[in-house]
Structure 1
């Protein structure tokens, strides 16, 4: 008892000498990493989310992780939490680093991918693009408010992820079409993220999950799912680790991480060739649009995608096979006609 009493007195004396220091700060010098997002952030469908989800893989020896990702959340849900939930308000105010991965559910709810998986006949490209465009507009407004709140209430460095395409194509015509339409819509969402938040005037680093996952979905997404597997989560963590190696000031994206979009984020000197290629591609698209002069803008975008798909060799084989069958049918028909004439 006497030993315990002396220890208590000593502890109180230390607190009197350092009144502004908490016990937690005396015991631990790690920073705080707060992760905001949806099921991707929470590690949904992983065997061990608390060790495999990407927030826990980001310099784990340097940060205490507060994972506030919630499965199913849209940008609207996160905005409401930041406005009214004290847990979220307190978390961002004490954070040293904040990761933000949101928007996938905004897109998926508009895409209705699960419904299409169950019943491909529900695939309606015109309605799909209209729904996704509306979702893109809502997402843009929500993200603007989310970023305003986070930047005004926190001095933390912010790592903002672009959205990856979750569609795994089996290279059939239908799924290549779904993949391309989804890809075009996701590029629109990511253009908004890059153009509005990746600038030298703020403490935001936009990291490019889209490019990492593009055409690598089978390697980084759980089979039969839309969520990252352990390898995919590690890729997301690596993006943040790389970003944290330098001061986060919103510098330009490196050339290998720039999306193949109409947003020009490269230096003029090194981008001359890229600009010319983009110009040629855009001219080809405009020529293709003239062939399908329908009044519906969503259908025009669908036709852009259709033209891209027709350039794939798989479609060429399909057309060649169809033409071959037609010629065979034609020759058989002629032969039958000749036999009838001889019989007469």
Structure 2
């Protein structure tokens, strides 16, 4: 009787170990998606945790769910292109994540633009482009992509900058004046990777895609970012 009991216990233990091993293997077998950027992939103001953690409704997780991918969301609110470049070059957490990545998204530059616009005081007279030049925005984006390519063979998608300001306002018109130039330079800087055109996707639908009195995407806006990312990465059926 005691031998039968021991055999039953051993069988249960082995069954549990085998089941756990299979689950881990299945999870590890998924391809990896790493999201680099600022508050947009972070999902700022969409979570109920006072922005202490990334929001699960942010587009990296939507891409991960649709593409059956393991997601590493490394978006940091407020970051500029210079800060992200520093991280991918010197932060081991970023470098290890990228080393194992199969897909990478890059959503960065909005904070550079806002800082440059504040410093220039006006988009006219070349002042804005001069301020962007001081921040090395386009050069930084190029170098981030180069660093990613050195660390892995991942497919990379770069998002451009959407217009966050309500349609019909002076700020919206300003955005439509300067963003085509900015976005053209962003994509021209990284011609060898996939491009996700957030500017065109959002269009004049800020009332739907942007949070009220904010510049960050709504859940619907995050869904749009997910859709264009999936398409650019070839993850749609």
Query: Above 0.5 in TM-score?
Result: yes
TM-score w.r.t. the length of structure 1 is 0.57
Question: Which SS does the other structure have where 2:36 is aligned?
Answer: strand
TM-score w.r.t. the length of structure 2 is 0.80
Q: Name 1:143's counterpart in structure 2.
A: 141
RMSD: 3.0
Instruction: Quote the Cα distance in structure 1 between the aligned partners of 2:12 and 2:202.
Output: 59
Higher relative contact order (CA 8 A, sep 6+): 2
Higher helix share: 1
Bigger shift: 220-229 or 180-189?
180-189
1:31-70 equivalent positions in 2, closer than 5 A: 31-47=31-47, 49-60=54-65, 62-70=68-76
Question: Unaligned stretches of 5+ in structure 1?
Answer: 13-20, 114-121, 248-344
Question: Unaligned stretches of 5+ in structure 2?
Answer: 49-53
Q: Name 2:184's counterpart in structure 1.
A: 191
Question: Which SS does the other structure have where 1:58 is aligned?
Answer: helix
Compared CA separation, residues 11 and 244, structure 1 to 2 (3 A): same
Q: CA deviation at 1:105?
A: 0.5
Deviations along 1:300-335, whole A, 9 cap, x unmatched? xxxxxxxxxxxxxxxxxxxxxxxxxxxxxxxxxxxx
Question: Which SS does the other structure have where 2:56 is aligned?
Answer: helix
Q: CA deviation at 1:216?
A: 1.5
Contact 2:36 2:105 in 1 (8 A): yes
Instruction: Quote the Cα distance in structure 2 between the aligned partners of 1:104 and 1:91.
Output: 23
Question: Which SS does the other structure have where 2:65 is aligned?
Answer: coil
Deviations along 1:20-61, whole A, 9 cap, x unmatched? x99843554221110000000100011365321000111415
Of structures 1 and 2, the larger Rg is shown by: 1
Question: Which SS does the other structure have where 1:167 is aligned?
Answer: coil
Q: Name 2:128's counterpart in structure 1.
A: 131
Deviations along 1:108-161, whole A, 9 cap, x unmatched? 112239xxxxxxxx964547x513442156101111211110011111111111
